[in-house]
């Protein structure tokens, strides 16, 4: 196969970016675009006059396609992806892969039985700054990983059928799995539905990775500042990945603290603090989505397993499921409920 014939299902917020990349990439041919809304299809045709459009994604099954991209609302990921796999098409699904792990597992089985590529759009795994960050970790330059802290905050976009966990946390979870190359051993979460009942818009996740490495994720739809930050603290060095910066995305701090080798038990600790240079490495900028689409095509052409394959997507879904369970049962975790009975009333301030 020289070029992969691709159809895009869903031309709303993210679909146009996918279509643009498959249109531009030489190893793909953008054949068709499906969307329920005619005005979106009209816009698609104005950009790509040669592309076929339809309001019924099932029409794509008769267009001699090799692969489809599913960028529809999360609730439709499972049925549409399944249908496409059943029709022999390689599938790239936007994140989150599905809304339940059972559905994800079913898609994996489907794809494996048909020997089709099933890939999930965890874009950050294809982000050159994240790849560089992983290289620094793997090289041992950071030493042992002490902990990772992430924050993904913004004002908005509220969605009716989702919450901040399913919307934003897949990014951070897929980054953590990629950086550490391991599954977490335990998961818990806290959060709150501030604006609308039952729709969590702020959440904190605690993941413990093997060797007691903790990772903490803060996601919010309700913050005045746009924050996209990952801090990796190692025993030798520390790195901050600040995705809001235009150019200086990674900062490597030659900082640390060494425990005293010997203490007499009575005297004070003699900590050894290190604070050396800071390095901001040049990261070659390339659109992560371009890399992702390219990787999907490569996997199809070379019959290889993509980095963010179905199993990777399943992992992320399972972690979010566990976190959401924890979130919804958080009252049961309040084992140290505060006893105000014995406290004098707070003074009026």
Site for its own copies in 197-226 (CB under 8 A): 202, 204, 206, 208, 212-214, 216, 218, 220-225
Q: How many CB atoms lie within 10 A of CB 231?
A: 17
- Cβ of residue 87: shortest distance to its own copies, in angstroms? 26
Query: Among residues 79, 88, 140, 156, which is the contact residue for its own copies, using CB under 8 A?
Result: 156
Q: Which is nearer to its own copies, 92 or 202 (CB)?
A: 202
Query: Among residues 10, 191, 288, 313, which is the contact residue for its own copies, using CB under 8 A?
Result: 191
Query: Among residues 52, 146, 236, 290, which is the contact residue for its own copies, using CB under 8 A?
Result: 146
Specify whether the backbone of 309 is left (phi greater than 0), alpha (psi in -120 to 50) or beta: beta
**Which strand (E) or helix (H) includes residue 78?**
helix 77-86
Q: Which is nearer to its own copies, 75 or 279 (CB)?
A: 279
Question: Is residue 329 at the binding interface for its own copies, with CB under 8 A as the rule?
Answer: yes
Q: Which of residues 104-123 bind its own copies (CB under 8 A)?
A: none
Question: Is residue 262 at the binding interface for its own copies, with CB under 8 A as the rule?
Answer: no
Q: Which of residues 125-144 bind its own copies (CB under 8 A)?
A: 134
Q: Could you say which DSSP state residue 13 is in?
A: S
Question: Is residue 192 at the binding interface for its own copies, with CB under 8 A as the rule?
Answer: yes
Question: Is residue 334 at the binding interface for its own copies, with CB under 8 A as the rule?
Answer: yes
Number of residues that bind its own copies (CB under 8 A): 97
Residue span 286-315 as binding mask against its own copies, x where in contact by CB under 8 A, dash where not = -------------------x-x---x--xx
C-alpha torsion angle, residues 155, 159, 160, 161 (rounded to 10): -130
Q: How many CB atoms lie within 10 A of CB 348?
A: 4
Spacing of C-alpha 167 from chain mean position: 9
Q: For residue 212, give the nearest of 145, 151, 135 by alpha carbon.
A: 145
Query: Among residues 263, 286, 303, 304, which is the contact residue for its own copies, using CB under 8 A?
Result: 263
Q: Which is nearer to its own copies, 52 or 255 (CB)?
A: 255
Stretch that binds its own copies, among 2-10, 57-65, 288-296, 333-341 (CB under 8 A): 333-341
Q: Which of residues 33-62 bind its own copies (CB under 8 A)?
A: 47, 49
Q: Which residues contact 106 (CB under 8 A, 6 or more apart)?
A: 78, 82
Q: How far apart are CA 325 and CA 319, in angstroms?
A: 10
Question: Is residue 167 at the binding interface for its own copies, with CB under 8 A as the rule?
Answer: no
Query: Among residues 79, 86, 259, 286, which is the contact residue for its own copies, using CB under 8 A?
Result: 259
Query: Among residues 231, 236, 289, 290, which is the contact residue for its own copies, using CB under 8 A?
Result: 231
- Cβ of residue 84: shortest distance to its own copies, in angstroms? 23
* Collapsed DSSP state (helix, strand, coil) of residue 269: coil
Classify strands 67-70 and 145-155 as parallel, antiparallel or unpaired: unpaired
Q: How far apart are CA 248 and CA 320, in angstroms?
A: 31
Q: Which residues contact 105 (CB under 8 A, 6 or more apart)?
A: 314
Stretch that binds its own copies, among 58-66, 77-85, 92-100, 249-257 (CB under 8 A): 249-257
Q: How far apart are CA 226 and CA 17, in angstroms?
A: 22
Q: Which is nearer to its own copies, 88 or 210 (CB)?
A: 210
From residue 170, give the alpha-carbon distance in Å to each of 32, 58, 122, 255, 339. Answer: 28, 28, 8, 30, 37
Q: How many CB atoms lie within 10 A of CB 76?
A: 16
Q: Which is nearer to its own copies, 87 or 154 (CB)?
A: 154
Question: Is residue 279 at the binding interface for its own copies, with CB under 8 A as the rule?
Answer: yes
Q: How far apart are CA 207 and CA 229, in angstroms?
A: 17
Query: Among residues 42, 55, 304, 325, which is the contact residue for its own copies, using CB under 8 A?
Result: 325
């Amino acid at each position: 196969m020289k070029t992969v014939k691709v159809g895009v299902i869903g031309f709303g917020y993210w679909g146009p970016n996918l279509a643009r990349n498959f249109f531009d990439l030489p190893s793909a041919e953008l054949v068709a675009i499906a969307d329920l809304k005619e005005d979106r299809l009209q816009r698609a045709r104005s950009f790509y006059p040669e592309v076929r459009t339809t309001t019924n994604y099932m029409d794509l099954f008769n267009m001699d396609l090799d692969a489809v991209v599913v960028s529809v609302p999360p609730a439709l990921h499972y049925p549409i992806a399944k249908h496409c796999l059943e029709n022999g098409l390689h599938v790239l699904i936007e994140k989150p892969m599905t809304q339940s792990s059972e559905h994800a597992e079913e898609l994996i089985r489907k794809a494996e039985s048909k020997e089709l590529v099933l890939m999930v759009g965890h874009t950050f795994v294809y982000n050159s700054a994240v790849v560089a960050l992983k290289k620094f970790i793997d090289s041992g330059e950071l030493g042992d990983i002490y902990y990772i802290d992430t924050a993904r905050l913004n004002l908005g976009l509220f969605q009716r059928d989702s919450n901040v966990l399913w919307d934003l946390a897949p990014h951070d979870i897929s980054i953590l799995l990629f950086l550490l190359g391991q599954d977490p051993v335990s998961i818990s979460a806290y959060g709150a539905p501030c604006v609308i009942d039952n729709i969590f818009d702020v959440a904190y996740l605690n993941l413990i990775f093997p060797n007691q490495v903790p990772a903490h994720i803060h996601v919010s739809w309700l913050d005045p500042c746009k924050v996209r930050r990952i801090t990796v603290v190692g025993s030798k060095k520390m790195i901050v990945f600040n995705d809001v910066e235009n150019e200086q995305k990674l900062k490597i701090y030659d900082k640390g603290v060494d425990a005293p080798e010997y203490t007499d038990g009575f005297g004070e600790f003699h900590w050894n603090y290190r604070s050396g240079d800071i390095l901001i490495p040049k990261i070659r900028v390339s659109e992560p989505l371009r890399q992702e689409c390219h990787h999907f095509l490569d996997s199809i052409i070379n019959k290889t397993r993509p980095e963010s394959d179905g199993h990777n997507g399943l992992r992320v879904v399972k972690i979010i499921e566990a976190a959401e369970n924890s979130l919804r049962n958080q009252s049961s975790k309040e084992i140290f409920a505060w006893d105000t009975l014995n406290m004098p009333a707070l003074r009026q301030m």
